[in-house]
Chain A
Amino acid sequence: MRANCHIEEIMTNKEWPLYEVFIRSKSGLSHRHCGSIHAADDQLALDAARDTYTRRNEGVSIWVVRSSRIVASDPAETAAFFEPAEDKIYRHPTFYDIPDGVENL
């Protein structure tokens, strides 16, 4: 249990670690990020997410993950990361003639 509690981290930081919360609102849909909470450890993060974000019947499944464990793209590199895709319109399926009679494509 001790290892799971991040005791050293809590004792040196005073603040509980931050967790991101993902909730699946009903079966078949994917989990969506809905916010974050502080918690002493993983299990209590799940409880806190339940008490904070599913009070009004919002979910059937919860994921929590330590915010520090999320690998995120660097905002400073937005240009290098995303702009090259902008002018490659051939990657979008917009050059097809839609056959008559197909309503939803």
Chain B
Amino acid sequence: MNQHQALLAYVSRLGDNGLILGQRMIEVVAAYPELEEELANANFALDYIGQARMFYTYAGELEGSGRSEDDFAFLRDENEFHNYLLIEQPNGHFGDSIAKLVLFDSFYLLLLEALKDCNVKRLAEIAARAEKEIRYHLRHNSQWLVRLGDGTEASHARVQDSVDSLWQYTGELFAADEVDQIFAESFAGPDLEAIQEQWKANVATILEEATLTMPGDGWMASGGKQGRHSEHFGYMIAEMQYLQRTHPGATW
């Protein structure tokens, strides 16, 4: 894999993460328990999708074969999406969603901070913009985690379960593959080991405030970054891509 291919794969993967998480969150729009949180969730989902659009547009330009953001989103198959397994997990209950977002945003914020310093100018610019959005997401979602964890006995037990069951998907965030390595070496990309250490410290602080226990490092799932997804994934993109697949090229 040469530098250009690695950069393309890296940028397209960032797009996949934004799109898939945004799509997951949009599934619960109009089904939230409170109007105010409903709005927050919809805002956040649109932030992720907006970021995905920027990444995909850039990936299309890098690729040079004329693919648009829509082609990336709607006309690729399951194994061509290289997002983390963590973010494609079903929404579950409110505590599940919040736990997933705290675990992911804690990582994503650090990643974006590091990307601001990479030597791909376009990517650094997108990261600088996205970082502000994610900083707020994390602030909001970690407040919820604290309130659920340090709330009632029932909310504590349920959200501890959420953290425990999602933990197995966090290892993949830091497992550098060939794309990550080339990107780090050739483009001054993020150092995932350093990010992991910082992530653990930050997550430990939030969990402690939430009176939750940090799970131990057990077996970790992987495969998302290589396009091997959990069973939930196919259903999600089937819904997402239905219109373009059924009526190719449809616009309005």
Residues on the B chain within 8 Å of A55, using CB: 39, 43
> If the complex has contacts A39-B36, A55-B43, are A44 and B143 also in contact, measured as CB distance less than 8 A?
yes
For the A-B complex, the count of residue pairs with Cβ-Cβ distances under 8 Å equals 38
Residue of B nearest to A38 (CB): B36
From the candidates A1, A11, A43, A51, name the one contacting B39 in the complex (CB within 8 A): A51
Which 9 pairs of residues, A with B, have the shortest CB-CB distance? Answer: A48-B36, A51-B40, A51-B39, A47-B140, A37-B36, A1-B150, A51-B43, A52-B39, A43-B143
> If the complex has contacts A7-B152, A51-B43, are A1 and B36 also in contact, measured as CB distance less than 8 A?
no
A88 within 8 A of B: no
Q: Write out, one digit per residue, whether chain B residues 27-65 have a CB within 8 A of any chain A CB (1) or not (0).
A: 000000011110110010000000000000000000000
From the candidates B34, B40, B143, B147, name the one contacting A38 in the complex (CB within 8 A): B34
Residues on the B chain within 8 Å of A16, using CB: 34
* Closest-CB distance, B41 to chain A (whole angstroms): 9
Tier of interface size on chain A: 10 to 19
Main secondary structure of the interface of A (DSSP, over half): helix
Main secondary structure of the interface of B (DSSP, over half): helix
Interface size on B, residues (CB 8 A): 17
* Closest-CB distance, A54 to chain B (whole angstroms): 10
B188-229 with Cβ < 8 A to chain A: 209
From the candidates B40, B43, B147, name the one contacting A5 in the complex (CB within 8 A): B147
Residues on the A chain within 8 Å of B144, using CB: 44
On whether the beta carbons of A1 and B43 are closer than 8 Å, the reply is no
> If the complex has contacts A7-B151, A16-B34, are A47 and B143 also in contact, measured as CB distance less than 8 A?
yes
Residues on the B chain within 8 Å of A43, using CB: 143
Most buried by A among B35, B36, B43, B151: B36
* Closest-CB distance, B34 to chain A (whole angstroms): 7
18 cross-chain CB contacts under 8 A: A1-B146, A1-B147, A1-B209, A2-B150, A37-B36, A38-B34, A38-B35, A38-B36, A41-B147, A43-B143, A44-B143, A47-B40, A47-B140, A48-B36, A48-B39, A51-B36, A51-B43, A52-B39
On whether the beta carbons of A48 and B40 are closer than 8 Å, the reply is yes
* Closest-CB distance, B206 to chain A (whole angstroms): 12
Residue of A nearest to B39 (CB): A51
Residues on the A chain within 8 Å of B43, using CB: 51, 55
Residues on the B chain within 8 Å of A44, using CB: 143-144, 147
